[in-house]
Copies of this chain bind each other. A is one copy, B any other.
Amino acid sequence: MTTLEPEYQNLIEAGKQDLKGDAVGAALEEIALKALEFLREKCKRVKLFSKVPGKDYFAFTPKDGKGELSRPVNKALFDARVTKKQLQTIFGKGIVKVDQDLLARLLYSLAISYCAATDLTKKDDKKTPGTFFEVLVGHLVSRAFGTNPQKEIKIPTLDIENKLPTDYVFDLGQGKNRIHLPVKISTRERIVQVWAHQRILDAMHGVNRFTGILICLTETNKQKDSSVIEVCLPGQWAAYQMYIGQLRRVYYLDVPEKYKPLVESYPFIQVKSFASFFREIDRLTKASPLA
Contacts and interface: CB of A to CB of B under 8 A. Distances in A.
Interface of A: 155, 157, 159-160, 162-165, 189-190, 192-193, 195-197, 199-200, 203-204, 235-236, 238-240, 242-244, 265-266
Contact of A164 (B155, B163, B235): B235
B244 A160 contact: no
Contacts of A190: 190, 193
18 contacts: A155-B235, A155-B242, A157-B242, A162-B235, A162-B239, A163-B235, A165-B236, A190-B190, A192-B192, A192-B193, A192-B196, A193-B196, A196-B196, A199-B243, A199-B244, A200-B239, A200-B240, A203-B244
Nearest to A189: B193
Contacts of A199: 196, 199, 243-244
Contacts of A200: 239-240, 243-244
A264 to B, nearest CB: 12
A259 B51 CA distance: 46
A252 B250 CA distance: 37
A192 B191 CA distance: 10
Contacts of A155: 235, 239, 242
Contacts of A242: 155, 157, 203
A259 to B, nearest CB: 15
Given A157-B266, A160-B238, A190-B193, 9 more contacts: A160-B265, A160-B266, A192-B192, A192-B197, A196-B196, A196-B244, A199-B243, A200-B243, A244-B244
B157 A196 contact: no
Contacts of A189: 193
B196 A162 contact: no
Contacts of A235: 155, 162-164
B164 A236 contact: yes
A262 to B, nearest CB: 12
A244 B195 CA distance: 10
A193 B164 CA distance: 16
A126 to B, nearest CB: 15
Contacts of A195: 196
B192 A243 contact: no
A153 to B, nearest CB: 10
Contacts of A240: 196, 200
A199 B238 CA distance: 14
A178 B155 CA distance: 31
A166 to B, nearest CB: 11
A243 B203 contact: yes
A193 to B, nearest CB: 5
A225 to B, nearest CB: 21
A261 to B, nearest CB: 12
